[in-house]
Amino acid sequence: MNMADLISKDSILVNVKSKSKKNALETISDNLANGDSGRKDTIFDKLYEREKLGTTAFGQGIAIPHARIPHIESPKILFMKLSEGIDFDAIDKKKVDLIFSLIVPDTKDDFHLEILSKVAALVDNKIFVQRIRDLSDKKEILDLFKNNL
């Protein structure tokens, strides 16, 4: 599967107001569930459970919350650009304003690690991160992703 196929214009949220890590995870879950309230709860529970193991804040204002989800058919990536940074328990103590969230079927262990590795490499690129911080148009952000994944 091509990594660029995992993200679409609908899975890019910009200028999102969030009060906390929990609130951000709720927004992510709501968007990834596509209106399915049961799935929304499952996604939130799994993302929150993962955060309890240790923060997914990557540093430099970036977090990558991720989880394996039962009964989903394909992986999904959601990108959320916050209007203001929030505390995400980052080791570097910086507030998070860019969130790359990933969910995968709970049966795809290797694929989960592969996607997570590629997203982590992407956000480790300072030029990419600066460019994404400078953009506010979903189409431009999507093009940036597709050209870099």
Question: Is residue 42 scored above 80 in pLDDT?
Answer: yes
Q: Position 130: which residue type?
A: Q
Binned at pLDDT 50, 70 and 90, residue 103 comes out as very high
- State the average pLDDT over residues 14-22: 96
Decide if 112 is catalytic: no
Per-residue burial over 57-76, b if 16 or more Cβ lie within 10 Å, else e, is bbeebbbbbbbbbeebeebb
Spans of all domains in the chain:
3-148
Share of the chain above pLDDT 70, in %: 96
Is this model's pTM higher than 0.75 or not?
yes
Q: Tell me the pLDDT tens digit for each residue of 116-126.
A: 888 888 889 99
Task: Write out the DSSP string of 103-117.
Answer: EEETT-HHHHHHHHH
Catalytic pick among 39, 40, 46, 66: 66
| Spatial contact of 104 and 47, defined as CB atoms under 8 Å apart | no
Binned at pLDDT 50, 70 and 90, residue 37 comes out as confident
The CATH superfamily holding the domain 3-148 is: Mannitol-specific EII; Chain A (3.40.930.10)
